[in-house]
Amino acid sequence: MKKETGDLILKKDNGYKGLKADKNKKIFDFAVGYKKFLDVARTDRETIEQLIKMAEKQGYVDIKKVKRSSKGVINDKFYIVNRNKSMAIVNIGKRPLTDGAHVLLSHVDSPRIDIKAMPLYEEGGLGFFKTHYYGGIKKFQWISCPMSLHGVVILKGGKKVNITLGDSIDEPAFMLPDLAIHVSGKLQGERKYNEVIKGEELNLLVGSIPAEADEKAKDKVKLNILQILNKKYGIVEKDLISAELSAVPAMRTQDIGFDASMIAGYGHDDRACVYTTALAAFEAKKPEYTTIAYFLDREEINSAGNTSATSLFVSDVYENILAFEDENGLYHRLRKAQSNSKAISADTTEAYNPTWKAVFDTHNVPHINCGVTICKFTGAGGKRESSEASSEFMAALIELFDKSCIKWQAGELGKVDEGGGNTVARYLASYNMDVIDIGPACMSLHSPTELISKFDLYSSYEAYLAFLNFKGEFNL
Ligand SMILES: [Zn+2]
């Protein structure tokens, strides 16, 4: 059959073009909720805290409270939390789990500046915290701007103190000071680009007033800071050793552009996917297949650790659901359930930036406003360490998105042998699941302020929801 020219050529255009007013309103309204979420979910722990609140509002219960009857589980919507830093939101489907689940996995961690175990010192009459940056960052981007402090400190006796300080304009924030251009020409000017600021130069300024103490007392500024910490939180210096404290950019999430079409904020990677997958999971009412939305930690440092995508927590969630059905033959049923599962690694990728077009393959780069990005494979240099979705799985998803009128685009991260990066897709693939990377494209990834399009954010939500609600067989 002869095809029309329009069908032969793949079109890619701006999603706002010709958009109906009611859809436009939906997109902008959706962004309002997201911006609020991003302003309060500043760390892995805070993101999990928010997700629990959101899930409970939707009628989900902690797995420990799930009620059972002789016919099975009474609560078919529940969540499982792992060490306050990762979790899964489960919605039991009509089919048994051994038919496979529809899995979404996003990560709750974002690049940040972590505080070292013995952080506090005084030098030059100023008090500082030593830090160790977390994740892949251009260190020079993170200095000379207000930073807020977040985390937990466990006091002697086990009392946990939550710290959130510096996000509000009424609260003091912190700063990683730089050198003026007037004096840094020789020292910094001759360094390579990512050594302009070195790791050990990321010292967080935390105070400058000396304590009223004996004339001979040393480090009076440090002493004064410890006095404040003790008065406000009950902390002594020893407590800082086991503390988990991070400095993150103290900025509000804000619309960008005269048309307010985009959003600047800290942590779009990957909290844009956290938010959109969570909302999709809540919206998928009674799905055909059980849906599991994972929210895992430590992706930015290659998924090492017991709250990451390499943790057996991924399997523990399956085992818990399977045990609700039947305690027998767990291992065999686990393998069947996982290998029949279909998964989306929900993560962001870098969008085309015309100022630096040289780093992109312009034929294969995602563009802002052109819809959710589907990435067949990640990795770099000869597709090394990449997971790759099969043609069958990817084609089935594209057909699903087309039928659901969801705007999508294909995209890769930078040029061959120049760009690249990895996601959790390969860890999910190791369970013999079908998995693909799908998420919104951002600009300025891993900088203190990342940029996302409201249209792409909403398309991502639509794509995740269509996937969770898909009733048919993928026939792979
Ligand atoms: Zn990411």
Among all chains, which residue has been given the structure tokens 């993560």?
347
Task: Give per-residue pLDDT as tens, 172-182.
Answer: 999 999 999 99
Query: Measured in angstroms, how far is the CA atom of residue 454 from the centroid of ligand 1?
Result: 18
Whether the pLDDT of residue 74 is over 80: the answer is: no
Q: What percentage of the chain reaches a pLDDT higher than 70?
A: 95
Q: Tell me, in angstroms, the distance from the centre of ligand 1 to residue 470's CA.
A: 25
Q: Once rounded to an integer, what is the mean pLDDT over residues 455-470?
A: 97
pLDDT band at 155 (very low <50, low <70, confident <90, very high): very high
Q: Compute, in angstroms, the gap from residue 347 CA to the centroid of ligand 1.
A: 5
133 - beta bridge partners? 113
pLDDT in tens, 3-47: 666 678 888 899 999 999 999 999 999 999 999 999 999 999 999
Cα separation, 276 vs 54, in Å, equals 12
Centre of ligand 1 from the C-alpha of residue 420, in Å: 12
pLDDT tens-place string over residues 203-222:
999 999 999 978 888 999 99
Q: Which residue has the higher pLDDT, 239 or 475?
A: 239
Residue 373 Cα to ligand 1 middle (Å): 13
- pLDDT for the residue 420: 67
Span from the CA of 271 to the centroid of ligand 1 (angstroms): 9
Report how far ligand 1's centroid is from the alpha carbon of 326 (Å). Answer: 36
Calculate how far, in angstroms, residue 299's C-alpha sits from the geometric centre of ligand 1: 7
435: helix, strand or coil: strand
What distance in angstroms lies between residue 446's CA and the mean position of ligand 1's atoms? 9
Cα 269 to ligand 1 centroid, rounded to whole Å: 5
pLDDT band (50, 70, 90) for residue 48: very high
Mean pLDDT over the full length of the chain: 93
Q: Using the mean position of ligand 1's atoms as its centre, give its distance from the Cα of residue 306 in Å.
A: 18
Confidence of residue 326 (pLDDT cuts 50, 70, 90): confident
Q: How far is the CA of 18 from the centre of ligand 1 (A)?
A: 31
pLDDT tier, 286 (very low <50, low <70, confident <90, very high otherwise): confident
How much is the pLDDT for 214? 82
Q: What is the pLDDT of residue 423?
A: 84
pLDDT the model gives residue 324: 87
pTM metric for this prediction: 0.95
Supply the angle between the helices 268-283 and 454-469 in degrees, to the nearest 10. 40
Query: Distance between CA atoms of 223 and 274, rounded to whole angstroms?
Result: 41
- For residue 251, is pLDDT > 90? no
Q: Strand, helix or coil at 100?
A: coil
Mind listing the domains of the chain with CATH numbers? 5-110+266-469 (3.40.630.10), 112-249 (2.30.250.10)
Q: Are 147 and 174 in contact (CB under 8 A)?
A: yes
422 CA to centre of ligand 1 in angstroms: 9
Confidence band, pLDDT 50/70/90 cuts, at residue 68: confident
| pLDDT tens, position by position, 374-410 | 998 876 667 777 888 899 999 999 999 999 999 999 9
Please give, one letter per residue, the 3-state secondary structure of 241-279. HHCEEEEEECCCCEEECCCCCEEEECCHHHHHHHHHHHH
Rounded percentage of the chain residues whose pLDDT exceeds 90 = 80
- Read off the pLDDT of each residue in 237-255 and give the average, rounded to a whole number: 96
9 C-alpha to ligand 1 centroid (Å): 31
pLDDT at 419 over 80: no
Kindly give the distance from the C-alpha atom of residue 188 to the centroid of ligand 1, in angstroms, as a whole number.
30
